[in-house]
Amino acid sequence: MGKSSVKKVALVAFEGISAFHLSVPCLVFQDAFIDRQPMFELSLCSLHQREISTGSGFGIVVDEGLDILDAADIVIVPSWPNSLPPVPAELRERLVHAHARGAMLVGLCLGAFVIAETGLLDGKTATTHWAFSEAFRTRFPKVEFDSQPLFIEHDQLITSAGTAASLDCCLQIIRRLCGSELANQLARVMVTAPFRSGGQQQYIPSPIAARPEKVTSLTQVIDQVEKAINQAHSIDSLAAQCAMSRRTFTRQFKAAYGCTFNHWLLDQRLKLSQQLLESSNYSISQVAELSGFGSESVYRKHFKTAFQITPMQWRTTFSGTAPVTP
């Protein structure tokens, strides 16, 4: 697969596929090559159907069957149904054969399940959309699963997280095969960030249990804390308000919310700070104060630990308006 040759890319479609997931490889490996020599020859194939319906309410015609995988340099499975059905034997066998002759196999989002079912990822690290982490771990115990990265590369095997991470992954393949200059040029054509490393974390919600439905003295006190999240709160004072000992309060809180109070409080403050970063022009120090961190340096440390990026990077990524002050 030399850099000067045209690489054959085979894209596997299926009934009900997301139009977005299908379009990302088409955009990166074909449509973005405006006024330049194409570096890839992209073909769409499916297992059986010539006409398939997308999950977006329109149909597409697929002219090729899985036999085109036998000549592809890169095989991309852009997703898989949310119900996670078993991979048909023919597709699985053709993927194994393609890998054996040197082709690159790419599982974008839930497409990682398809690659994993071949057994080729056994003993290797892989990722997929964070919401399907447990399903992946359960089905493929021999794969070293990591829910954090945007994508994970091996020599011939690549898996990515969901949605926009598919775009990052495809651009990385361009960068790897054709160089950074071309990848950056294509990113400019698509008006997207030229590079987010595979090691950057997915934006995964913290696993905090929802508020218990049953109203108790504990939930009533915590409701008051939520309304004054930027204020100082001690376990001793909260326990006293609940007419509990510190030990009883700690035990009952963990039973109700699935974590310690301090963990819960930090999570709530971080969530509030995210909302402020996205929807206001407050400076970072003001966000820290309004979120209850008090110290800007303490806030920055907790934010970076939780999300692997700075508060300003979060604002730049998710805010529709530019901040007035840093």
- Phi/psi for 147 (5° steps) reads -80, -5
Report the alpha-carbon angle 207-308-162, nearest 5. 65
Please give the pLDDT value at position 275. Answer: 85
Residue 321 has pLDDT above 60, yes or no: no
Tens of pLDDT, residues 157-194: 999 998 778 888 998 898 888 887 787 778 777 656 54
pLDDT at 130 over 80: yes
What pLDDT is recorded for position 111?
Answer: 97
Domain 217-318 in CATH: superfamily?
Homeodomain-like (1.10.10.60)
β strands within the chain, DSSP E: 7-13, 40-46, 51-53, 59-61, 74-77, 104-107, 125-126, 144-145, 151-153, 157-160
Closest CA to 164 of 190, 133, 125: 190
User: Percent of the chain at pLDDT above 90?
Assistant: 57
d(CA 262, CA 163): 32
Q: Which CATH superfamily is domain 7-190 in?
A: Class I glutamine amidotransferase (GATase) domain (3.40.50.880)
What is the average pLDDT value for the chain, to the nearest integer? Answer: 86
Residues 225, 229: Cα–Cα separation, whole Å: 6
| Residue 324: predicted pLDDT | 39
The answer on pLDDT for 317 being more than 80 is: no
Q: How confident is the model at residue 148 (pLDDT cuts 50, 70, 90)?
A: confident
* β-strands 125-126, 104-107 pairing: unpaired
Could you state, in order of their start, the residue ranges of all structural domains in the chain? 7-190, 217-318
Per-residue model confidence as pLDDT tens digits over 207-217: 455 566 778 89
Comparing 315 with 144, the larger pLDDT belongs to 144
**pLDDT tens, residue by residue, 218-238:** 989 999 998 999 999 999 999
